[in-house]
Amino acid sequence: MSDQAPAVTPDWSAQAADLRSQLQRHGHLYYVLDAPSIPDAQYDRLFRQLQALEEAHPELRTPDSPTQRVGGQAVDAFASVLHRVPMLSIQTETDISEHGARSFDARVRKQLHCQAADPPLDYVTELKFDGLAISLLYADHVLVQAATRGDGAVGEDVTHNVRTICQIPLRLPPQAPTKLEVRGEIYMRRDDFEALNERQRKKIASGAKNEKTFVNPRNAAAGAVRQLDPQMAAQRPLSFFAYALHFHPPQDLTLPPLEATLFGLQAYAGHAEVLRHLKDWGFPVSQHVKVVSGPDGLVAFHQEIARLRDQLPFDIDGVVYKVNSIERQALLGMVSREPRWAVAHKFPAQEEITTVMAIDVQVGRTGKLTPVAKLAPVFVGGVTVTNATLHNEDEVRRKDVRVGDTVVVRRAGDVIPEVVSVLLEKRLHESDCFHMPTHCPVCNSLAVREVGEADYRCTGGLFCRAQQKQAILHFAHRRAVDIEDLGEKIVDQLVDAGLVNTLPDLYRLGFSQWAALERMAEKSANNLLASVEKSKQTTLPKFLFGLGIRHVGEATAKALAKHFGGMDAIMDASIEQLLQVADVGPVVAQSLRTFFDQAHNREVVEQLRFCGLTWSEDAPQGRLDLPLAGHTYVITGTLPTLSRDQAQEMLEQAGAKVAGSVSKKTTAVVAGEAAGSKLEKALSLGIPVLDEAALLQLLQPPA
Ligand code: IVH
């Protein structure tokens, strides 16, 4: 038997290695590049195969195996880690205007003794991620240690937790140096954060003790990394971006901090090249990294990212500028643990802490009651905020916002400010939880919340002063009958003084009544009177839209006017007839019927007609005689003299349809200045493009 060839036993070790490398590659495609090349089920199958193999042959289990991400035991405390290369901080540019970027460039040039005539310097611009810094140590290509920053010299060993982050490679490819340290930011995406808090809320609701929701993604991420039990850390969805590479100087070589951080990097032309390598070695590197030239490049990046900030899937608190050349980084040196070659240029904070002075309930046009937190004034997102919406009853309950609470307020972009969360530990006194009022705070009518709706509504309708005011403002709006200069302050006075309760009252006011209003000069009173007079000449869609019927927006009003041709036909239409109109579904149809079934609403229409409001009533549908009937136009950009509304109205008067997007069916596109994608699309489809002059010519009645 001995001279026989050995029985062919499968090479389990090679198979395990093959499975590991396949899983590693697909994991990178999935977690880092977000571009999987195999279905999830296939990945799971490979994963289970490797698990089974390791189960049967435990000696094949390696620390870099994808099955070993959540392997570690819980610990009592974290071990300390001495950073061989210190983790430096970054200077913060205090001037948040664009001047901040320019003064950084000026400082750098001065220190490098650049002359005015010398060419602009190259910088790498990056995002300043709002997470926590981490150091990852690789030896023989394998992740061996992950540590927090700590005080920059000594951090905490959080290897077990960091291993659970799928975006962090456990093994590096052969082209990477065998021993290296990568630094970057661990963070939590906003959607992951919301989902985590949602899960936490469910746990709390079902009675779980010792569970809490998190204030923001950064706190949630920091908490996860510092969990003692890796099983718990693994349940928190964390992400990672790499932004620096370091090599350890030999043990016997003691280098000053900056020299230590730059040790071995002279082999790379610049920081941008370092980042390219990190990406090649499988680390996630932000796609927003850019190489820019001089101060103008820095400013342009700052502006670009400020615009983009709210669309990013994660929080940033600014941008970072870094001198690209490693050689210059070395020349620049450092001051008090901050290198002179980098600076963080912050954005205004989007979240701040303040206190809730009161919770008011506001009444909207359709009677919707909205709870609003009245806040101690706080500067957030670039403005001073004193009100923040609490949306509705469920939201207030969910966040448990109470008067006197310390809260986190968020204002991002132009979105209305909102209360994000309550700092419960700051709640000193027993306070009452919030209840929606049972009656409208303005007119005292019953407030009801219908089944399946989130909002309470005042049932007072147009008897409710808040709704009267909103109804009048809506009717007077430019896109409705357009009463110029009739603003909120004037409407408040008119309604509060009892001069106007219903829409027709507006048309019954004489000069002396207008002139008697606060701060109303004779000229303004005359102007208003003239505007009211002018608004009497309107169109059916504008009039109908102006009535403020729930669910009847401009487009629906137009469709109704076109279909029925006249006001009476609309008021009398049955549900079935209303449903014939393109654009009108059961909800809209019902809303119209409910509105016109109320005698006082029909009375308003009658009275308005009596007061002299007129519009042309078209024959239903049949305006095929009009010159542009059957043609569709798209308007884009800013026209030299006409507003877009005016151009649209003129086209529609001539029988054309005006659409919002370009398609093969578009007759022509009317383009003004700064026309963008719609114009491009028209050109690519070969659709004629008209300027304002050509449009006016088109609309000229035939001689
Ligand atoms: S570089 C010497 N780049 O900001 C410069 N830091 O102290 C070393 N941070 O908490 C840091 N985004 O985690 C660098 N693109 C970025 C960064 C960044 C965020 C954090 C870092 C640390 C602080 C700097």
Checking if the pLDDT of 95 tops 90, the result is no
The model's confidence at residue 74, banded by pLDDT at 50, 70 and 90, is confident
The model's confidence at residue 4, banded by pLDDT at 50, 70 and 90, is low
For ligand 1, atom 14: residue with the closest CA: 243
Beta bridge partners of 419: 409
Our answer on whether the CB atom of 128 is closer than 6 Å to any ligand 1 atom is yes
HSE at residue 679, side-chain half, CA atoms within 13 A, is 13
Average pLDDT over residues 639-663: 87
What's the pTM? 0.66
What pLDDT shows up at residue 6? 55
What pLDDT shows up at residue 3? 52
Distance CA 56, CA 623 (A): 81
HSE at residue 550, side-chain half, CA atoms within 13 A, is 17
* 493 within 8 A of 517, measured Cβ to Cβ: yes
Catalytic residue among 128, 290, 368, 399: 128
Of 87, 90, 322, the one to substitute when testing ligand 1's pocket (max ligand atoms within 8 A of C-beta) is: 90
Higher-pLDDT residue of 394, 124: 124
For ligand 1, atom 9: residue with the closest CA: 128
Which DSSP category does 509 fall into?
-
Residue 202 backbone phi and psi in degrees, to 5: -65, -45
Our answer on whether the CB atom of 185 is closer than 6 Å to any ligand 1 atom is yes
Average pLDDT, the chain: 90
Alpha helices of 477-584 — where are they, by DSSP H?
488-496, 511-515, 522-534, 540-546, 554-564, 567-572, 575-579
Distance CA 643, CA 265 (A): 59
What pLDDT shows up at residue 8? 63
Of 320, 323, 326, 345, the one to substitute when testing ligand 1's pocket (max ligand atoms within 8 A of C-beta) is: 320
Tens-digit pLDDT profile for residues 40-49:
889 999 999 9
Distance CA 412, CA 382 (A): 9
For ligand 1, atom 13: residue with the closest CA: 133
Query: In the annotation, is 128 catalytic?
Result: yes
Checking if the pLDDT of 137 tops 90, the result is yes
Our answer on whether the CB atom of 88 is closer than 6 Å to any ligand 1 atom is yes
Our answer on whether the CB atom of 196 is closer than 6 Å to any ligand 1 atom is no
Of 185, 246, 317, 347, the one to substitute when testing ligand 1's pocket (max ligand atoms within 8 A of C-beta) is: 185
The model's confidence at residue 700, banded by pLDDT at 50, 70 and 90, is confident
Checking if the pLDDT of 1 tops 50, the result is no
Percentage of residues of the chain with pLDDT beyond 70: 97
Our answer on whether the CB atom of 341 is closer than 6 Å to any ligand 1 atom is no
Our answer on whether the CB atom of 187 is closer than 6 Å to any ligand 1 atom is no
What pLDDT shows up at residue 619? 55
What pLDDT shows up at residue 390? 93
Q: In ligand 1, which atom is closest to the CA atom of 185?
A: 13
Q: In ligand 1, which atom is closest to the CA atom of 338?
A: 2
Distance CA 203, CA 196 (A): 11
* 126 within 8 A of 286, measured Cβ to Cβ: yes
Helix (H, G, I), strand (E, B) or coil at 278: helix
The model's confidence at residue 618, banded by pLDDT at 50, 70 and 90, is low
Higher-pLDDT residue of 365, 222: 222
HSE at residue 602, side-chain half, CA atoms within 13 A, is 11
The model's confidence at residue 583, banded by pLDDT at 50, 70 and 90, is confident
* 481 within 8 A of 538, measured Cβ to Cβ: yes
H or E segment and range at residue 218: helix 217-225
Which DSSP category does 442 fall into?
T
What pLDDT shows up at residue 374? 96
Checking if the pLDDT of 542 tops 90, the result is yes
For ligand 1, atom 3: residue with the closest CA: 243
Task: Among 114-118, 167-171, 221-225, 227-231, name the one with the lowest average pLDDT.
Answer: 227-231
Checking if the pLDDT of 29 tops 80, the result is yes
Our answer on whether the CB atom of 90 is closer than 6 Å to any ligand 1 atom is yes
Tens-digit pLDDT profile for residues 250-274:
988 888 888 999 999 999 989 999 9
Tens-digit pLDDT profile for residues 276-323:
999 999 999 999 999 999 999 999 999 999 989 989 999 999 999 999
* 375 within 8 A of 356, measured Cβ to Cβ: yes
Our answer on whether the CB atom of 244 is closer than 6 Å to any ligand 1 atom is yes
Helix (H, G, I), strand (E, B) or coil at 581: coil
What pLDDT shows up at residue 398? 85
For ligand 1, atom 17: residue with the closest CA: 128
DSSP 416-460: PPEEEEE-GGG--S--PPP---SB-TTT--BEEE-TT-S-EEETT
Rg of the chain's alpha carbons, rounded to an integer?
Answer: 34
Q: In ligand 1, which atom is closest to the CA atom of 126?
A: 15
The model's confidence at residue 622, banded by pLDDT at 50, 70 and 90, is very low
For ligand 1, atom 6: residue with the closest CA: 128
Of 104, 128, 186, 321, the one to substitute when testing ligand 1's pocket (max ligand atoms within 8 A of C-beta) is: 128
Distance CA 596, CA 612 (A): 21
CB neighbours of 113 closer than 8 A, spacing ≥ 6? none
- Centroid of ligand 1 to alpha carbon of 544 (angstroms): 57
- Centroid of ligand 1 to alpha carbon of 68 (angstroms): 29
Closest by Cα among 69, 80, 63, 75 to 229: 75
7: tokens are 């029985």
